Chain A
Amino acid sequence: NAGVTQTPKFQVLKTGQSMTLQCAQDMNHEYMSWYRQDPGMGLRLIHYSVGAGITDQGEVPNGYNVSRSTTEDFPLRLLSAAPSQTSVYFCASSYDISVNEKLFFGSGTQLSVL
């Protein structure tokens, strides 16, 4: 099992550009989520999904879209990148977060928006 695979590892964008961060897991996890991590802020939830076809907003959803067409994939789209979106992004999955199953994280994407 590869676990949670996140691509790309690094990305530089110009303000206003759009891009998609890819996330895939091969553990048949129902729960998938995206976090951003900023210095002094901790990990903050952007969007999450409890199964294919179901998504919901987290704490900081503005400027991001997600979709969940399959159990395996949960891409995060930046519609029009802004410098405030410079951050490290982590995708995470779990069998069932509501029963306290642990989160498995991808290796992260370092995004810089100029």
Chain B
Amino acid sequence: RKEVEQDPGPFNVPEGATVAFNCTYSNSASQSFFWYRQDCRKEPKLLMSVYSSGNEDGRFTAQLNRASQYISLLIRDSKLSDSATYLCVKNTGTASKLTFGTGTRLQVTL
């Protein structure tokens, strides 16, 4: 089993829709989690960290479920500019152990 697994998509949604992605992980020692966004042919950029209590940043909400070993990203009121690949990342706290998922592609259409 991969350490971090994501549905590759693509998720095709109309503008204004709500969309959610899940990411499952193995290794319960994983300490912290992140969502990175990667636009086509660009570098990844941090979207948000994921906290156990859940956290929200504008239209974006991230949740962590340690019991079931998954994290989620909810995007409300999708914009065309949200079209990108969303990478799930986990960090076990040591220098080398930042593990990236393969990404979920989102395409928002008119």
Residues of A within 8 A of B (CB): 31, 35, 40-45, 48, 50, 56, 58, 90, 97-98, 100, 102-103, 105-108
Q: How many chain-B residues does the 8 Å CB contact rule pick out?
A: 24
Q: Mark contacts of B43-72 with chain A using CB atoms, 8 A cut-off: 1 yes-contact digit, 0 otherwise.
A: 111100100000000000000000000000
Question: What's the Cα separation between A81 and B4 when bound, in Å?
Answer: 29
**Chain B residues engaging chain A, CB cutoff 8 angstroms:** 4, 8, 31-32, 34, 36, 41-46, 49, 87, 91, 93-96, 98, 100-103
Task: Provide the bound-state CA to CA distance between A45 and B96, in Å.
Answer: 8
Contact A103 B93 (CB under 8 A): no
> Between A and B, how many residue pairs show CB distances below 8 Å?
53
With A42-B87, A50-B95 as known contacts, state yes or no: A102 contacts B46, CB within 8 Å.
yes
B96-A48 in contact (CB<8A): yes
- CB neighbours of A42 from chain B (8 A): 4, 87, 100-103
Given A40-B102, A98-B94, do A107 and B43 touch, yes or no (CB 8 Å)?
yes
A-B CB contact pairs (8 Å), 22 listed: A31-B95, A35-B100, A40-B8, A42-B87, A42-B100, A43-B87, A43-B100, A44-B100, A45-B96, A48-B95, A48-B96, A97-B95, A98-B94, A98-B95, A100-B91, A102-B34, A102-B46, A102-B49, A103-B46, A107-B42, A108-B42, A108-B43
